[in-house]
Amino acid sequence: MRLKFEKRAEPSRFMLYATPVGAVLLTMLVGAIIFTAIGYNGFGAVYQVFIAPLALSYKWGDIAVKASPLILIGVGLAVGNRAAIWNIGAEGQYIVGALAGTGIGILTKDMHGPWILPLMLVAGMVGGAAWGAVPALLRNRFNVNEVLSSLMLTYVAVHLMNQLVTGPWKDPMGFSFPQTALITADQMLPILVPGTYVHLGIVITLIIAVALWFLMSRSLMGFQVRVVGSAPSAARHGGFSQKQTVWLVFLLSGALAGLAGIFEVTGPFQQMSLGFPQNYGFTAIIVAFLGRLNPLGVILAGIVLAITYVGGDLAQSVLQLPNASKGIFQALMLFFLLASDILIRYRVRLVGAPAPAAVPARSPAE
């Protein structure tokens, strides 16, 4: 007896949408069993992590705030992954975007006017895109693997941030604590719901996500990205430039990550400190996959991940569940999703005898 994968004639649309839901449900079940086995209230934990944030209406704002950067970075990465171009340095682009915007903020701290905030946002996008341009340049010029270069640049960005925040950008009135001064009123994103952090950036994020969905499914650009990703040789014949696509992907995803960074500075954080990098750039990779590389799916996936963050803290205060369990739940969810990915393009059969010698082929969309 062995498992046998049979390639489907066409990817299963049912599995495409069913597997993420299945992964979340399976995570809840398995998580409950694991945490019960090690002596915690397992079902209570699942309730707190996945359900309570939705059941408590005052948590909705928190979910939106937490989901926003994940979605904004995630949609950018989803475009790249569609083209089989792997930007895993979004965290670095997020940080550098935030730094660029904060730099403008520090320069304009004594000025007033409605132009300051937009300028900071643009600087954030430029900063993120510039950091993203480095792996694109390296790949197009020197054929450097973008996975490795973008990852390395993330750590360079972290140290750059640490240097600025502990050095020249330190709040002069802050008793040497490693953080910048709070931003001024002119630099803050408008809050949409009083008493929460629900800021204008969340709406912009949703508009961008929907716009990208439209572009990806309806425009020539979307077609180019998809063809380059799924059929590189066809793309060459069709006159689509691989190099151009690399630039497009990195500048776009870098700019969106940078925008997410400056949204965090001008929204919830209101300053930069050593604690500013929250691994949103890495988590967004998970979000992009959970959302099936579809911008609308990414919105949902970002919300699900945000729920586990918000719920993880609830589980800790209500049930004294250790903080580490948040990560276990998130990892389980991704494991199950990745494990079920294969069901989209393959049918699984149990067969008695070894299959005849298979003709190997690389799956096209990877």
Within 81-100, the residues that bind other proteins by CB under 8 A are 86, 88
359 binds other proteins (CB under 8 A): yes
By the rule CB under 8 A, 166 interacts with other proteins: yes
- Please report how many Cα atoms fall inside a 13 Å half-sphere around the Cα of residue 111, on the Cβ side: 12
Are 283 and 69 in contact, with CB atoms under 8 Å apart?
A: no
Residue 7 near other proteins by CB under 8 A: yes
Minimal CA–CA distance to 219: which of 301, 143, 295, 116? 295
Q: Tell me which of 131, 169, 269, 280 binds other proteins, using CB under 8 A.
A: 269
> CA angle, corner 230, sides to 228 and 235, nearest 5?
35
- CA neighbor of 325 nearest in space, from 83, 96, 27, 86: 27
Residues of span 51-80 touching other proteins by CB under 8 A: 51-52, 55-56, 58, 62, 65
Does 191 participate in binding other proteins (rule CB under 8 A)? no
Minimum CB–partner distance for residue 317 and other proteins (Å): 5
CB of 217 to other proteins, least distance (A): 22
The correct pick among 19, 27, 48, 108 for binding other proteins (CB under 8 A) is 48
Say whether residue 253 binds other proteins (CB under 8 A).
no
Rank residues 114 and 175 by Cβ distance to other proteins and give the closer one.
175
Decide if 291 contacts 301 (C-beta within 8 A).
yes
CB of 178 to other proteins, least distance (A): 6
What does the alpha-carbon distance between residue 141 and residue 243 come to, in Å, rounded to a whole number?
9
Tokens of 207: 């508009």
DSSP assigned state of 84:
T
C-alpha span between 298 and 20 (Å, rounded): 11
Nearer to other proteins (CB atom), residue 7 or residue 236: 7
Please state the closest distance from residue 218 (CB atom) to other proteins, in A.
26
Say if CB 148 and CB 255 are below 8 A apart: no
Q: Determine phi and psi for 179, rounding to 5 degrees.
A: -160, 155
Taking phi over 0 as left and psi of -120 to 50 as alpha, with beta for the rest, 294 belongs to beta
> Does 242 interact with other proteins (rule: CB under 8 A)?
no
Residue from 9, 110, 352, 362 binding other proteins (CB under 8 A): 362
Distances 231 to 67, 87, 218, 253 between C-alpha atoms, Å = 33, 19, 18, 22
How many Cβ atoms from other residues are within 10 Å of residue 183's Cβ? Answer: 25
Instruction: Decide: is 317 part of the binding site for other proteins (CB under 8 A).
Output: yes
- Rounded CA-CA distance 145/366 in Å is 16
Q: Which is nearer to other proteins, 38 or 114 (CB)?
A: 38
Binding flag, residue 222, other proteins (CB under 8 A): no
Q: Which residue in 20, 31, 42, 261 binds other proteins (CB under 8 A)?
A: 42
Question: Does position 172 bind other proteins by CB under 8 A?
Answer: no
Q: How many residues bind other proteins (CB under 8 A)?
A: 101
**347 lies in the binding site for other proteins (CB under 8 A):** no
270 binds other proteins (CB under 8 A): yes
By CB under 8 A, the residues from 112 to 151 that bind other proteins are: 138, 141-145, 147-149, 151
CB–CB of 69/263 below 8 Å?
yes
The binder of other proteins chosen from 160, 204, 208, 221 (CB under 8 A): 160
Shortest Cβ distance from residue 239 to other proteins (Å)? 25
Please, what is the minimum distance in Å from the beta carbon of residue 115 to other proteins?
A: 26
- Specify the residue, 13 or 159, whose C-beta has the smaller distance to other proteins: 159
Query: Does residue 351 belong to the site contacting other proteins (CB under 8 A)?
Result: no
* Tokens encoding 112: 């007033």
